[in-house]
């Protein structure tokens, strides 16, 4: 069995390889024992090799050390002694003190120090560890969340030590949009409705505190049903409890969006131009509300309508307005929050309609439409000057049946659906 012994110049220590693997060692002594060689670890007073023929010792190039047993012992001891340092030579860590990585990537870092003999790490984050047999190296970190981590590293020798902080910065991965959610009849998503939802209001609109914005990418399916819900928040008793409902009217010669604020009996309603929604074509939708009153004085109907604006592909569109009983002056209650269905049991999206990048703001984002639309390219909404309150990627990074809220904590659940409804069909 050959034993490889050589000096690691970066670590300034002796490296020994045998069947037990590689180890960093110091304070070694080679000696002749019965015409063979033994290697003693002086610090632990144990033999690392006992009665090994001198011809079994090789260098890093697998070359046998030259000479007889005495010559090989002298060569090895000269090598061992060369690991010592003058008393003025304290360790200095020379490797970079910063590591920049991205969520999901593996870190591969090596501590390098002049005159280092021993090495130590403290405060390593879970998932980042040293390499077996080489404590100077770190590997792992693919499970680290975005943020900054600051483990301490030390290089030590008999004259002193150098301690440094390694700053590890983990960034969010580059934005990628590859998934959307496909809806057929009876498919829907929902989350807990609460008064914290931006679409809730306690009474008639009281101002900017009740304002909201809805944004998403939408692709209409082939069904001609006239009421296919995209987003709904509000009461379950729809004849008397207020709701916000945005839907696609797929009727022949209509093909537009409708927005209703109120009940089935008292409401204002606005719809986009006919034939503005093209079957099978992605369109970016933004609906804004300034938070003001929405009923119930006939003389103020123009004000009620004017509180809302709808943008398709970044452009404000002309709206056709209607009402029942001069609008709705009541609350928008927290009974249901659904995507793809109106409340408890009706008005589903149909025939392979798709939704992507759904977001809600608790403010009127009319002034920021261009930034949200981003010239038609989906992007990281969390980086906007005013990020959404809630943002659902609708498939990207999600695990069925949960559609994760990327900003808040209001996850959506997919119902009457399968994992196959998360599809590779996105705006481009």
Q: Are residues 200 and 334 in contact, defined by beta-carbon separation less than 8 angstroms?
A: yes
User: How many Å apart are CA 8 and CA 252, to the nearest integer?
Assistant: 78
Q: What percentage of the chain's residues is helix, strand, coil (to nearest 5)?
A: 10, 45, 45
User: How many Å apart are CA 402 and CA 407, to the nearest integer?
Assistant: 15
The pTM of this model reads: 0.69
User: How many Å apart are CA 139 and CA 125, to the nearest integer?
Assistant: 11
User: How many Å apart are CA 362 and CA 304, to the nearest integer?
Assistant: 19
pLDDT tens for the chain, residues 1 to 428 = 788 888 776 666 677 876 555 555 566 788 998 889 998 877 677 888 899 999 999 998 899 999 999 999 998 888 876 555 556 678 999 999 999 999 989 999 999 998 888 899 999 999 999 998 889 999 999 999 999 999 999 998 878 899 999 999 999 888 999 999 999 999 999 999 999 999 999 999 999 999 999 999 999 999 999 999 999 999 999 999 999 999 999 999 899 999 999 999 999 999 999 999 999 999 999 999 999 999 989 999 999 999 999 999 999 999 999 999 999 999 999 999 999 999 988 899 999 999 999 999 999 999 999 999 999 999 999 999 999 999 999 999 999 999 999 999 999 999 999 999 999 999 98
Eight-class DSSP state of 178: -
Residue 103, token pair as written in the block:
């969520």
Angle at 242 between CA 361 and CA 247, to 5 degrees: 65
Task: Estimate to the nearest angstrom the gap between the alpha carbon of 349 and the chain centroid.
Answer: 29
Cβ partners under 8 Å of residue 165, min gap 6: 97, 150, 151, 152, 153
Nearest to 395 by CA among 359, 353, 356, 428: 356
Q: Are residues 12 and 83 in contact, defined by beta-carbon separation less than 8 angstroms?
A: yes
């Amino acid at each position: 069995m050959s034993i490889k012994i050589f000096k690691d110049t970066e670590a300034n220590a002796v490296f020994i390889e045998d069947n037990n693997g590689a180890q960093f060692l110091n304070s070694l002594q080679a000696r002749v024992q019965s015409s063979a060689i033994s290697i003693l670890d002086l610090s632990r007073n144990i033999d690392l090799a006992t009665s090994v023929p001198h011809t079994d010792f090789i260098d890093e190039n697998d070359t046998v050390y030259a000479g007889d047993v005495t010559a090989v012992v002298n060569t090895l001891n000269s090598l061992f002694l060369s690991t010592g340092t003058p008393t003025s030579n304290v360790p200095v860590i020379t490797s970079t003190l910063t590591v920049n990585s991205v969520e999901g990537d593996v870190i591969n870092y090596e501590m390098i120090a002049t005159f280092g003999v021993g090495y130590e790490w403290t405060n390593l984050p879970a998932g980042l560890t040293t390499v077996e047999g080489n404590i100077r190296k770190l590997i792992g970190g693919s499970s680290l969340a975005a943020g900054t981590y600051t483990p301490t590293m030390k290089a030590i020798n008999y004259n002193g030590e150098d301690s440094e902080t390694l700053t590890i910065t983990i960034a969010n991965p580059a934005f990628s949009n590859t998934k959307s959610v496909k809806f057929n009849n009876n498919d829907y998503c929902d989350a807990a409705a609460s008064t914290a939802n931006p679409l809730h209001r306690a009474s008639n609109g009281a101002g900017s505190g009740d304002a909201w914005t809805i944004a998403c990418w939408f692709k209409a399916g082939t069904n001609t049903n006239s009421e296919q819900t995209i987003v709904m928040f509000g009461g379950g008793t729809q004849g008397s409890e207020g709701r916000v409902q945005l839907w696609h009217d797929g009727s022949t010669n209509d093909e537009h969006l409708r927005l209703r604020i109120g009940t089935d009996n008292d409401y204002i309603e606005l719809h986009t131009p006919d034939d503005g929604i093209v079957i099978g074509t992605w369109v970016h939708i933004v609906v804004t509300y300034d938070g003001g009153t929405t009923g119930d004085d006939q003389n103020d109907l123009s004000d009620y309508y004017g509180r809302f604006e709808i943008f398709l592909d970044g452009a404000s569109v002309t709206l056709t307005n209607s009402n029942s009983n001069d609008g709705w002056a009541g609350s928008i209650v927290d009974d249901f929050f659904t995507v793809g269905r109106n409340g408890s049991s009706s008005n589903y999206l149909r025939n392979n309609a798709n939704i992507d990048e759904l977001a809600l703001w608790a403010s009127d984002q009319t002034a920021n439409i261009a930034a949200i639309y981003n010239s038609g390219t989906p992007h990281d909404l969390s980086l906007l000057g005013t990020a959404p309150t809630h943002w659902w990627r609708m498939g990207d990074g999600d695990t069925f049946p949960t559609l994760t809220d990327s900003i808040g904590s209001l996850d959506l659940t997919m119902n009457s659906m399968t994992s196959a409804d998360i599809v590779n069909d996105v705006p481009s």
